[in-house]
Homo-oligomer: A and B are copies of this chain.
Amino acid sequence: MGKKKKNSRREIFIELSERISDGYISPGVKLIEQELSSEFGVSRPVIREILSQLEAQGLVKKVPNKGTVVCKIDPGSLFEIFEIREVIEGLAARKAAQNTTAKDWKDLEKKFGAPGDKIVQNKQFEEYLSLVTEFRKRIVSSAQSKELSALINSIYAKIRIVQRRVIILPGRIEKGIIEHREVLNAIMKGDPDMAESMKRNNLHSALKDLKRYKKWVF
């Protein structure tokens, strides 16, 4: 395998993170240092540093003398992570309600209106995913907490690939859009308690569906 272009360490780290959390590299797949070294045009020690970072991040696992494999997420861990998301993203919603006013959300309110209904009716999963992703990112940035933002992104990277399997569960987007509207209303009203409560309710509801249909998710 021939060398390709030379990338910076940070870029390689991000590239591999995204490949894993987007599912381009499947859980259980072994990452071979020499191949990565050739592909990215850097030496093996550099690759090993990056793999160490990915391990500390929880995306891969190094087994001694065997190699580095992409973490596969078991149902138990997934449920645990959703519980954590419940309180963490609940906090983000709370802080978003504190730090913003209604006018900051007019654009999203519009998107969640008639266009939202259409997305749900036509089961446009891709559009639904990008809508709720935009909402989630807006909440996180509105929370104005670097630590919280880093934490949410780090946790989300682990389960991003699962998200696609969650939203196609029967009735999920129908419930999801209602729950998201409740969150949005609470934030626009400037009601932190309600915003947190509704965001927690949203993720709790997703977790319940996840448990109910776990045979189809795993």
Q: Which of A53, A81, A150 has the most CB of B within 10 A?
A: A53
Majority-rule SS of A interface residues: helix
Contact segment of A82-90, A101-109, A113-121: A82-90
User: Is A178 an interface residue when CB atoms closer than 8 A count as contact?
Assistant: no
Q: Is the CB of A49 closer than 8 A to any CB of chain B? A: yes
Could you say how many copies of this chain the assembly holds? 2
Number of chain A residues whose Cβ lies closer than 8 Å to a Cβ of chain B? 30
A84 x B91 contact (CB < 8 A)? yes
Instruction: State the Cβ distance, A114 to closest chain B Cβ, in Å.
Output: 34
Residues of B within 8 Å of A147, CB to CB, are 77, 80-81, 84
Chain A contact residues, CB within 8 Å of chain B? 45, 48-50, 52-58, 76-77, 80-81, 83-84, 86-88, 90-91, 95, 145-148, 150-151, 155
